[in-house]
DNA sequence: GCGTCCAGGTCTACC
DNA sequence: GGTAGACCTGGACGC
């Protein structure tokens, strides 16, 4: 079935899809030519379906679903879609701040700033662990293996991201050797088992009323999640107080602001401090500006 | 083709 | 609180 959904003001579908590397990791699949995003969703009713999302006519998105949905199922899918595309969050304050700085006026102009996320916090967190201390190529291998070997098979080459229960059911050795998770295996396994047993509920992080500093500590309490991963996870929870500096961002910052001359993270922190609770997002916009310039010339 | 070295975050033990 | 070393993999490089 096909239907449309309205988009909020200042929303750019394609820039949200390409906001960071998530669109290249399964179950997300991006079609650059048709400018569409595809993935499998699981509904509360237990049904799985493949969905293709495309820019529609003025301020609408076209949604193509492989299943005919009843009222509640459609409502459920729309909620998940809007959550992934960050359509329910208010960025007006961020854009207002951006307009006040000459070098950031491009952001509200093109509707950048929304960061694509998965339907569940679990998927985002496991993927984030898979980005730590390795190349992007290895991240792709790990995530792809998780989906293919432990995820629900929807069609021939179409897999869902595995549930905590599915990962909890395998051994550390399996995660090391078959998934190629290496030393991350015990971290992935421990979190999956804690969730599967009901010892921890990380999906509530998205609606948490905790102050960001407290939430950061809670995210950090998960083994395998250090300052970089926690900062990035927070960005996917709608909190931008942490920069989440990794080697790539660090290098990029030095290129942009210091003519390639290396310095310390304290210098970077100091640079973005005036941006308050939006500093993490301004930092990300800075280091990814050239993607936007290259992929989406004004 | 094989061996060696390095880059990439996080944890733990130690000072 | 700060620091060194271990963890594991893919890729680059030299032979």
For A222-279, what is each residue's pLDDT tens digit? Answer: 999 999 999 999 999 999 999 999 999 999 999 999 888 888 899 999 999 999 999 9
Q: Does the C-beta of A230 come within 7 A of strand B?
A: yes
Mean pLDDT of A34-46: 95
What is the C-alpha separation between A187 and A181, in angstroms, rounded?
10
Structural domain boundaries of chain A? 2-103, 121-220, 247-293
- pLDDT tens, residue by residue, A188-227: 999 999 999 999 999 999 999 999 999 999 999 999 999 9
Decide the pairing of beta strands A60-65 and A48-55.
Answer: antiparallel
Is the separation of the CB atoms in A181 and A175 below 8 Å?
Answer: yes
**Placement of tokens 């208010």 in the chain:** A90
Is the separation of the CB atoms in A83 and A67 below 8 Å?
Answer: no
Q: Does the C-beta of A60 come within 7 A of strand C?
A: no
CA of A50 to C1' of B6 (A): 41
Bond before A27 cis per omega within 30 degrees: yes
What is the C-alpha separation between A120 and A82, in angstroms, rounded?
13
**Placement of tokens 């030519």 in the chain:** A33
- pLDDT tens, residue by residue, A117-130: 999 999 999 999 99
Mean pLDDT of A43-58: 93
Q: Does the C-beta of A186 come within 7 A of strand C?
A: no
Q: Does the C-beta of A133 come within 7 A of strand C?
A: yes
User: Which residues, at least 6 apart from A216, have a Cβ–Cβ distance to it below 8 Å?
Assistant: A230, A231, A234, A241, A242
| Band (A18; pLDDT cuts 50, 70, 90) | very high
Query: Biggest alpha carbon distance in chain A?
Result: 58
pLDDT at site A298: 56
User: Which residues, at least 6 apart from A225, have a Cβ–Cβ distance to it below 8 Å?
Assistant: A125, A128, A129, A187, A219, A233
pLDDT at site A279: 96
- pLDDT tens, residue by residue, A132-166: 999 999 999 999 999 999 999 998 788 999 999 99
| Nucleotides of strand C within 7 Å of the protein's CB atoms | 7-11
Is the separation of the CB atoms in A1 and A97 below 8 Å?
Answer: no
SS3 call for A105: coil
Closest to A62 in 3D by CA, of A50, A74, A52: A52
Nearest DNA or RNA nucleotide to A142 (CA to C1')? C9
pLDDT at site A57: 85
pLDDT at site A10: 87
What is the C-alpha separation between A16 and A85, in angstroms, rounded?
7
pLDDT at site A124: 97
Q: Does the C-beta of A223 come within 7 A of strand C?
A: no
CA of A183 to C1' of C6 (A): 10
pLDDT at site A56: 86
A2-103 shares its CATH topology with A121-220: no
What is the C-alpha separation between A282 and A284, in angstroms, rounded?
5
What is the C-alpha separation between A15 and A106, in angstroms, rounded?
13
Q: Which CATH superfamily is domain A2-103 in?
A: DNA-3-methyladenine glycosylase AlkA, N-terminal domain (3.30.310.20)
Average predicted confidence (pLDDT) for chain A: 94
Mean pLDDT of A94-110: 96
Instruction: Judge: domain A121-220, CATH 3.40.50.10470.
Output: no
Helix segments in A132-278, DSSP class H = 136-150, 164-168, 172-177, 185-196, 212-220, 227-236, 247-257, 265-272
As separate numbers, helices (DSSP H) first and strands (DSSP E) second, chain A gives 14, 7
């Amino acid at each position: 079935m096909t239907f449309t959904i309205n988009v909020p003001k200042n929303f750019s579908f394609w820039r949200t899809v390409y906001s960071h590397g998530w669109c290249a990791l399964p179950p997300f699949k991006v079609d650059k030519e048709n400018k569409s995003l595809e993935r499998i969703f699981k509904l509360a009713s237990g049904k799985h379906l493949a969905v293709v999302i495309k820019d529609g006519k003025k301020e609408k998105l076209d949604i193509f679903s492989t299943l005919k949905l009843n009222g509640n199922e459609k409502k459920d899918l729309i909620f998940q879609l809007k959550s992934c595309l960050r359509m329910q969050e208010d960025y007006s304050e961020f854009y207002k701040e951006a307009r006040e700085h000459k070098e950031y006026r491009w952001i509200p102009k093109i509707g950048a700033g929304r960061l694509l996320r998965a339907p569940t916090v679990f998927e985002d967190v496991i993927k984030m662990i898979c980005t730590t201390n390795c190349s992007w190529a290895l991240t792709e291998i790990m995530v792809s293996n998780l989906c293919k070997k432990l995820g629900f098979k929807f069609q021939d080459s179409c897999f869902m991201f595995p549930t905590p229960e599915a990962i909890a059911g395998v051994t550390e050795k399996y995660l090391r050797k078959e998934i190629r998770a290496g030393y991350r295996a015990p971290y992935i396994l421990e979190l999956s088992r804690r969730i599967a047993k009901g010892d921890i509920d990380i999906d509530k992080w998205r609606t948490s009323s905790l102050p960001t500093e407290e939430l950061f500590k809670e995210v950090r309490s998960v083994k395998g999640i250090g300052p970089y991963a926690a900062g990035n996870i927070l960005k996917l929870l709608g909190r931008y107080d942490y920069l989440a500096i990794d080697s790539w961002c660090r290098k990029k910052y030095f290129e942009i602001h210091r003519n390639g001359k290396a310095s310390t993270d304290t210098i970077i922190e100091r640079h973005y401090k005036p941006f308050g609770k939006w500093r993490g997002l301004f930092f990300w916009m800075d280091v990814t500006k050239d993607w936007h310039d290259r992929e989406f010339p004004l």
